[in-house]
Structure 1
Amino acid sequence: MIAPARALAEMFPYFARCVDRNGVPPLWKRELGFGSLVHIILEQQVSLASAQAAFDRLARAVGRVTPETFLALTSDEARIVGFSRQKYGYCHGIAEQLIDAPEVLSVTGLSDDEAVAKLCKLRGVGPWTATVYLMFAGLRPDLWPHGDRALVVSMDNVLGLGGIPTYDDADVMAQAWAPQRTTAARILWHDYLGGVEYNERHGIASIYL
């Protein structure tokens, strides 16, 4: 994470100021597999704190989050954990599909576009969910999640745009950060979440270039 953050900071003054202020962003690494996909689905259109709380309750209820343990959860139990009916339906369907065909989550050897397209065949997984999964669990270096509200708000602040860009405009601007768009997104997310204050709340050591 340090090398790509340094490369972006050397090329773009606004990223240099951001990293000087906040330090290098966390990697936010997640395990490949069903559990991480469930966590990201929980994060759809809610705060990260709310999604994390729901996922923690799920883990306490079932232990390790796997397709098998999730399918043992009733809809009422899932509601108490914090799943909406729709998100429970998505995750239940994905769990059933993975038990029958676990290779569905295998994206080794696929291009980014191919991997996103394959994951989007799962009910409840759209381009944003698939892209974020590949960024955090797959550690793919050059992805950009279209439609992420936090990113466009952060772009306005960090780049000094004078207004929040549309998602399409953000996609175009992010092309300048290839082949390190994943790191650019992490820098922007980190700033949006509070930078050093976020690190302190989560016990993360701040690392500076």
Structure 2
Amino acid sequence: MAMPGDPAALKAAVAELSDSDPVIARLAQNYGLPTLDRRSLPDFTIEYGKPVAVPLEDQLFSDLVEVVIRQQLAGKAAIAISGRVRAALMDNLTPQAVIDSDPDLLRASGLSSAKLSAIRGLAKAITTNTLSLVSLACASDDDVTAELSKLKGFGPWSAQMFLMFSLGRMDIWPSGDLGVRKGYSRSYGLETVPSAKELAVLGERFRPYRSLAAWYMWKSLVDLPI
């Protein structure tokens, strides 16, 4: 199976999808190769916009915070809130920094009470060693979803975004995501937007590269959700 960090293998995966689906072929021609990030295991550090390495646990935490912020929010609004949250934490978005911060300061950044509770709950789970995101990076898709779903404020969509854009998993199909549903309807010329249940069935033919197909559905609507 193609890995996101391997351009040649990713190109082969897109070619395989394109050979079996002319719509994907057209989208691939228009938008190029999908961009799904895979973290640099096993040294547990990555580069995050700076010349210094960020511990993988902190980076994965930051990724999940971004996912929470983006829940049911348009891209521009989410980006603005994310910037204010990072500024409030002096660009130190780590579990311990969230635990040590003034909740009112984060709430003033634009976080709803529910999202603030979810982020602080995630930070507490990590700082008390109840949850290890680095360990999740090596777990199966189902196990990642099950573990994250134990946390308040995290459901299937949050787990799917984490799996796709933080762990680079190739066969995730977020059929409940409105953007994927609308993108599918637009790309395939449907008169109506398929339901989550309908899209789950429609996506089966994209295995084992459903993440790539989902990326193209989002891209067909111009902006990605993450």
Give the TM-score of the pair, scaled to structure 1.
Answer: 0.85
Match in the other structure for 1:164: 193
Aligned sequence identity (%): 30
Unaligned segments of structure 2, at least 5 residues:
1-9, 40-55
Matched, 1:22 2:31: yes
Match in the other structure for 1:54: 81
State which drifts further: 141-150 or 169-178. Answer: 141-150
Match in the other structure for 2:94: 66
State which drifts further: 125-134 or 71-80. Answer: 71-80
The superposition leaves residues 141-184 of structure 1 with CA deviations (integer Å, 9 ceiling, x where unpaired) of 10112310000000001111221000110011111100000111
Match in the other structure for 1:207: none
How large is the Cα RMSD of the aligned pairs? 2.0
Alpha-carbon distance, 1:103 to partner: 3.9
Alpha-carbon distance between aligned partners in 2 of 1:20 and 1:164, rounded to the nearest angstrom:
24
Quick check: 2:175–2:181 contact (8 Å CA) kept in 1?
A: no
Alpha-carbon distance, 1:17 to partner: 1.3
Q: Which amino acid aligns with 1:164?
A: V
Equivalent pairs counted in the alignment come to 195
Alpha-carbon distance, 1:108 to partner: 4.3
Matched, 1:126 2:155: yes
Q: Which amino acid aligns with 1:141?
A: M
Alpha-carbon distance between aligned partners in 2 of 1:20 and 1:123, rounded to the nearest angstrom:
40
Quick check: 2:61–2:94 contact (8 Å CA) kept in 1?
A: yes
CA gap 1:157/1:29 in 2 versus in 1, 3 angstroms: farther
Unaligned segments of structure 1, at least 5 residues:
196-209
Alpha-carbon distance, 1:194 to partner: 5.4
Alpha-carbon distance between aligned partners in 1 of 2:60 and 2:137, rounded to the nearest angstrom:
13
Alpha-carbon distance between aligned partners in 2 of 1:102 and 1:68, rounded to the nearest angstrom:
14
Q: Secondary structure at the match of 2:108?
A: helix
Q: Secondary structure at the match of 1:183?
A: helix
Matched, 1:82 2:110: yes
Match in the other structure for 1:150: 179
Task: Describe how 1:3-22 pairs up with structure 2 within 5 A.
Answer: 3-22=12-31
Matched, 1:33 2:60: yes
State which drifts further: 69-78 or 135-144. Answer: 69-78
Q: Which amino acid aligns with 1:47?
A: A
Alpha-carbon distance, 1:193 to partner: 2.0
Alpha-carbon distance between aligned partners in 1 of 2:77 and 2:14, rounded to the nearest angstrom:
28
Q: Which amino acid aligns with 1:136?
A: F
Match in the other structure for 1:198: none
